[in-house]
Structure 1
Amino acid sequence: MLFYSIAVVVIAIDQLAKIWIRGSIAVGDSVPFWDSVLNLTHYENSGMAHSLFQGYGRLFALFAILFISGVLYYRKKGDVKGKPMDISMGFLVGGAAGNAIDRILFGKVTDFLEFTSGHGILNLADVAINIGVVLLLITAAVSIIMRKEFL
């Protein structure tokens, strides 16, 4: 249940934030948000990270659907188990689904989190994917250390 709860909450928050951005800030406009750390900048990205492969938004939606299907398959099979994995996979699936929804409906994703350190523009689905990856790496590292497989 934890996996599904996290995935649904991530999707809902991501989609609500994107709806708000699309309705509040014109594409290309930027609004200072958090002191000098973060701006809300409305950007429409039809590619992938760092605007690579522009125009292939719907193709990336297919990859997201395949990823989500794989996670669901392996969860059902019993290969993905435990609370840390449920949390990690919940963030990963929620983020992938949030961006896939945009790509299917619009052919592009709405990005809006621009950190002034210059690391591109993200959305909340991207943040969730990053959280999921970090949690997955921590879970894998702890698992290896606990089994002492690194020796």
Structure 2
Amino acid sequence: MELLIVLLVLLDQFSKYIAKKYLILKQPINLINGYLNLIYVENRGAAFGIFRDKKIILVGFTSIVVIGLIYYLLKNKGKDRFIDFCLILIIAGAIGNLIDRIYLNYVVDFIHFYIKDVFDWPVFNFADIYVSIGAVLLCIKLIFFDKQR
């Protein structure tokens, strides 16, 4: 459990280091024309730019959530491995972006998904992917497959 969180955070931080080193002064790198490119963005807010330049609020809230999720995970470890996995993803993503907020005062984003002239998703990173996948899977589990509720 702890090792997976550490590995995911390290992957996130390494990808942001590479993005910052190689994308900061370049135009977007087109991976799939009309759908996906890499571009360096400094996000000073939360998802979709909300709470822009509110570092204390973002760091405080994220820290409380991470501590709460770790406590829950340790207290209920092994009761439901799927929920454990979802929480591990959420925790790793939150920690990855928390590290950026604390040390850089912004979060490094670099993955840009869009559908030319139809859809344009905000630029994101691996930590955002972890949190999103973990949260969606957790919701699906709790809404459709949790027999205890």
Query: Residues 61 and 81 of structure 1: is their aligned pair in 2 closer, same or farther, counting only changes over 3 Å?
Result: farther
Q: Which moved more, 1:130-139 or 1:22-31?
A: 22-31
2:57 corresponds to which residue?
59
Report the 3-state secondary structure (helix = DSSP H, G, I; strand = E; otherwise coil) of the residue aligned with 2:120: coil
Question: Which amino acid in 1 is paired with 2:131?
Answer: I
Amino acid corresponding to residue 89 of structure 1 in structure 2: L
What is the letter of the counterpart of residue 18 of structure 2? W
TM-score between the two structures when normalised by the length of structure 1: 0.86
- Choose 26-35 or 114-123, whichever is displaced more: 26-35
Q: Does structure 1 conserve the Cα–Cα contact (< 8 Å) formed by 2:44 and 2:107?
A: yes
Q: Does the CA contact (< 8 Å) of 2:83 and 2:138 recur in 1?
A: yes
Task: State how many pairs are aligned.
Answer: 145
Which residue in the other structure is 2:72 paired with?
A: 74
Stretches of 4+ aligned residues off by more than 3 angstroms: none
- How does 1:2-151 map onto structure 2 within 5 Å? 4-26=2-24, 29-78=27-76, 81-116=79-114, 117-144=119-146, 146-147=147-148
Q: TM-score, normalised by structure 2?
A: 0.87
Shift of 1:143: 3.3
Secondary structure of 1:121's aligned partner: coil
Across the aligned residues of Structure 1 and Structure 2, the Cα RMSD in angstroms comes to 2.0
What do the CA deviations read for 1:97-124 (whole angstroms, capped 9, x no partner)? 0000000001100011111230111111
Equivalent-residue separation in structure 2 for 1:103 and 1:27 (angstroms): 21
Change (3 A) 1:42 1:27: farther
Q: Gapped runs of 5+ residues in structure 2?
A: none
Q: Identify the range of structure 1 (115-124 vs 73-82) with the bigger mean alpha-carbon deviation.
A: 73-82
Worse-matched range after superposition: 123-132 or 56-65: 56-65
Q: 3-state DSSP class of the match of 1:122? A: coil
Structure 1: which 5+ runs fail to align?
none
